[in-house]
Chain A
Amino acid sequence: MKSLLLGSSLLIASSPVFAGLRIVTTTEDLAALAREVGGKHVKVESIAKGYQDPHFVDAKPSYLLKLKRADLFIQVGLELESSWAPNLLRSARNKKIRPGARGFLDASSGCDVLDKNADADRSQGDVHPEGNPHYWLDPANGRIIAKNIAGRLSELDPDHTQDYKANLAAFEVSLKEKIAGWDKLAQAFKGSKVVTYHNSWPNFAKRFHLNVIDFVEPKPGIPASPSHIKALLERIRREKITLIFMEPYFDEKLPKKIASDTGANLLILPPSVGAAKGIKTYSDLFDHNLNLLSDALGKKQ
C-alpha cells in the first residue's frame, strides 16, 4: 500500500503539472519567507517586484492568471496594497483565495505593528489608520510572518505538516543567529538620528535603535513645500544629522539636493527583497542594509 502511494506520488511529481501548493504573494519579502517555509512543496510567485513601490502596481494579464491558479494568496495588509490587490482578487474570481477563505492570508496578524491610529499629523506623511504597513522590516516580525505562513500551509496541506514545521524551525534557528549578528552591527550606530524619504522604516528603526526625526516627503505624491524643505534643512544642520536614506523607487533629486546642501550622506536603502542586486532571501535584505548603514554611520561615530 505504502509503495503504491509512493508510486502514485512519484507519478504526480514527474508529470509536468506542479502538484504542490501555488502561492502568490503581493511582495517579494513575503515570497522569500513563503519559500523558506514551504520548501519543495510550494511554488511561490510575487506580484510586485522588489524594485517597485508596493503602493502602486500596474495590472498585467499574467497577474490575473497567477491569481486564478493560486492555492494561497498572501498580502502584507494594513492597506499597503489596498489600491490594487482587492480589485485584482475580485477580477481573478478564484474562490479559494477570496478574502475570508482559507487560501487568503494577511501576514500582519500577530506582528508588532507601529503607528496604529496615527493622528492626522502631516509630518507623519502617508497615514495608514490600521498601522504602518512596513512591519516586515523588523526581523522579529519576519519570524511571526513565517510562523503565520507555516500554520496556513499546514492547514491547506496537512500531509506535509511535519515538513513545514521542520522548515520553520530551521528558518527560526538561522534567523536567530543572524539577528544576533545584526544587533551587534547596529550597536555601532545606536541612537543615530536620520531623515528618511517615506515613512517606511519605523519597525527597522525601532529594532536597530535609529532615531528617525523627519521625512523628505510630507505626503506621497505631493511635492515638499518650500517651508517643509526649509524647516528640514535647518533641522538637519541644527541636529548635525549625517544620514538621509530613501527607497530606490522614489525620485532622488530633492534628497540629493538636501544632502549636498547640508553635507549629509544620502543612502539608497532597499526596503524589500529583490530591490537591489544580490538580495534574494529575507536575511540578505538585513545583511545588505545593516552593512550599508554601518559603513555610513558606524565609522564616523
Chain B
Amino acid sequence: MMDILLLFAWPFAALLVITAIHAYLGLHVVQREVIFVDLSLAQIAALGASIAVLAGLDLHGIGAYLCSLGFTLIGAAFFAFTRSDKSEVPQEAIIGIVYAVSAAAAIMIMDRLPEGAEHLKHIMVGNLLAVTPADVIKMTALYAVVGLLHWYWRASLLLISSDPEKARREGYNLRLWDFIFYGTFGLIVTVSVPIVGVLLVFSYLIVPGVAAVLFFDSLRPRLFFAWGLGALVSVIGMAVSFWLDSPTGATIVCTFGAVLGLLAASRSLLSRRAIKI
C-alpha cells in the first residue's frame, strides 16, 4: 500500500505547490476582474514556443523556453498598457481577443511544421500523473522566487490590484506595476500549464479565490481560506480519481466545481438565517 501511495506523492506535491502560488495570485485576478488572463498568457506562451519550433529550435530546449518567455512578457506588457479605468472597452474583452488570436496563430504555424504538432498540443493539456520530481523542484524554486517578490512588494502590488485610483493619486507608475504583476504571473503560468494543463491551472487560480471572497472581506483570512480549500480539494480530487479511476486532472476540476457549489449554497443558507435572527 505504501509504495502505491508513493506513486502519487509527486503529483500531489505538485498540486500543493500550485495551490500555494495560484490561490494567492487568484485573489489578485478576481479583484482585477481579469478572470481569463491566465488562459490568454498561456496561449501566448504556446504561440512563442511554436514560433521557436518553426525557427528550427528544439521544443524542450532553452531557446524555445526563452522565446516562449519573451512572448509572455510582451503579452504582459500589452495587458499592462491596455488597463485603463476610463476606457469603454472592458479589459476582459481584450484578454479574450488576445487568447483567440494567439490560439489561431498557433494553429496556422503548426500547419507549417513537419513535426512537433502533437507536442505543441500537449503544451496546453499537461499530464498531472506523469509529473517528475525534477518538474516539482523546478516549479518550487521558481514559485518561491515569485512568491518572495510578491511578499516584498506586497503593499504596492495589492494596492494597484484593489484600488488603482488611489495608487495613481499616491504617485505609483501604474503601467510599470501592472507589468510587474502580469510578468510574474505569466512566468508562473508558462511553467504550470505544460505540467498540469490549462484547465487545472485555471481552476486553482479562480475557484479558491472566488470561494474566499464569498466568506471573508480582508486579504489575510481570504488567503488562508483559499490555501486550505486548494489543498483540501487536491486531496479529495485525487482520492475520487483513484476511486473512480477517472482522468485525474479532469476529476480535480469537477471536484472544485462541486465544492464551490456546496460552499455557495451553504453561504446563502447561512445569510438567510442571519437575516431571520
Contact = CB atoms under 8 A, between A and B. Distances in A.
Interface stretch (B70-78, B86-94, B109-117, B201-209): B109-117
Interface stretch (A15-23, A81-89, A281-289): A81-89
A59 B7 contact: no
A96 B107 CA distance: 40
Given A90-B132, A219-B110, A68 B3 contact: yes
A124 to B, nearest CB: 9
B117 A64 contact: no
A60 B241 contact: yes
Interface residues of B, number: 32
A60 B245 contact: yes
B4 interface: yes
B187 to A, nearest CB: 24
Nearest to A87: B130
Given A58-B247, A58-B250, A221-B118, A64 B127 contact: no
Contacts of A88: 129-130
A91 B130 contact: yes
Nearest to B108: A222
A296 interface: no
Interface string A60-75: 1111110010000000
A91 B119 contact: no
A263 interface: no
A235 B114 CA distance: 24
A91 B6 CA distance: 10
B130 A59 contact: yes
A160 interface: no
Interface string B118-157: 1101100001111110000000000000000000000000
A92 B132 CA distance: 10
Contacts of A206: none
A218 B107 CA distance: 13
A220 interface: yes
Interface string B94-111: 000000000000010011
B246 interface: yes
B10 interface: yes
Contacts of B215: none
A170 B11 CA distance: 45
Interface string B63-85: 00000000000000000000000
Nearest to A63: B129
B248 A60 contact: yes
B242 interface: yes
Contacts of B247: 58-60
For the complex, would chain B's binding face be called helix, strand, loop or mixed by DSSP majority? helix
Interface string A250-276: 000000000000000000000000000
B224 interface: no
A84 B246 CA distance: 16
B41 to A, nearest CB: 22
Question: Residue among B8, B107, B129 with the most chain A CB within 10 A?
Answer: B129
Interface residues of A, number: 30
A127 B115 contact: yes
A184 interface: no
Question: Residue among B115, B122, B248 with the most chain A CB within 10 A?
Answer: B115
Contacts of A220: 117-118
A91 B127 CA distance: 11
Nearest to B245: A62
Given A55-B118, A219-B117, A221-B118, A64 B129 contact: yes
A91 B246 CA distance: 17
Contacts of A92: 7
Interface in A106-159: 120, 122, 126-127, 129
Contacts of A225: 111
A120 B115 contact: yes
Contact of B7 (A64, A126, A129, A221): A64
A40 interface: no
Question: Residue among A61, A92, A122, A219 with the most chain B CB within 10 A?
Answer: A61
A61 B107 contact: no
A237 interface: no
Contacts of A63: 129
A60 B251 CA distance: 10
A240 interface: no
A91 B132 contact: yes
A176 interface: no
Contacts of A230: none
A64 B114 contact: no
Given A58-B247, A120-B114, A127-B115, A221 B130 contact: no
A218 B245 contact: no
Contacts of A55: 118
6 contacts: A59-B129, A63-B129, A90-B132, A91-B129, A91-B131, A220-B118
The 10 residue pairs across chains A and B that have the minimum distance between CB atoms? A120-B114, A87-B130, A59-B129, A58-B247, A62-B245, A61-B242, A127-B115, A222-B111, A64-B7, A91-B130
Given A65-B4, A88-B130, 7 more contacts: A55-B118, A59-B128, A68-B3, A90-B130, A90-B132, A120-B114, A222-B111
